[in-house]
Amino acid sequence: MFNDIGPLELVTLIVLAVLVFGPDKLPKVIQDVTRTIRKIREFSESAKNDIREELGPEFKDFEFEDLNPKTFIRKQLDNEDLGLKEIRNGFDLKKEMAEVTDAVHSRESDTSSTSSAGAAGSSGGRIDMTKKPETSDPGDRPPFDADAT
């Protein structure tokens, strides 16, 4: 519960408690606080047991900590019945990335060799903007979209 309190913070809390309650009343306050914490724990345990009884024998091993999403996922990933470890271990990301980069590099080298051959036959890779684009059929119109107009 108080795992993140350091020694300096603990000393500060003790000094503050002595200043607020005084050295005479401090032991009684500590007893009251511990009694209250004990009652809260007993109440929560009885509530958990009541819920387990109401759920039935199917949920006999149900833990309320499993309601935390991180705990639930961690527990499911460690479950051997699902076979997720085999899937996770069978997938080699570095190998997959190497195959993709090899395919990209081979495609780039193929396109660069064909584009350099095609550019040599044209007018130095320049495009003549004065020429009209060639059309296959003058009666062929682009599709009409009534919603666009």
CA distance 27 to 18: 10
Sorted by sequence, the CB contacts under 8 Å of residue 119 that are 6+ apart come out as 125
Quote the pTM value: 0.40
User: Could you tell me if 77 and 84 are in contact, meaning their C-beta atoms sit under 8 angstroms apart?
Assistant: yes
Domain boundaries, the chain: 7-62, 65-117
Residue 122 has what DSSP assignment?
Answer: S
CA distance 109 to 100: 14
Among the residue ranges 4-13, 34-43, 57-66, 105-114, the one predicted with the least confidence is 105-114
- The answer for 126, left when phi > 0, alpha when psi is -120 to 50, beta otherwise, is beta
Average pLDDT, the chain: 76
User: Could you tell me if 52 and 59 are in contact, meaning their C-beta atoms sit under 8 angstroms apart?
Assistant: yes
Q: How many residues does the chain have?
A: 149
106-148 pLDDT, tens per residue? 876 666 655 554 444 444 556 666 766 665 565 667 677 777 7
Tokens 């007993």, located at residue: 42
User: Could you tell me if 55 and 62 are in contact, meaning their C-beta atoms sit under 8 angstroms apart?
Assistant: yes
User: Could you tell me if 62 and 52 are in contact, meaning their C-beta atoms sit under 8 angstroms apart?
Assistant: yes
CA distance 57 to 15: 50
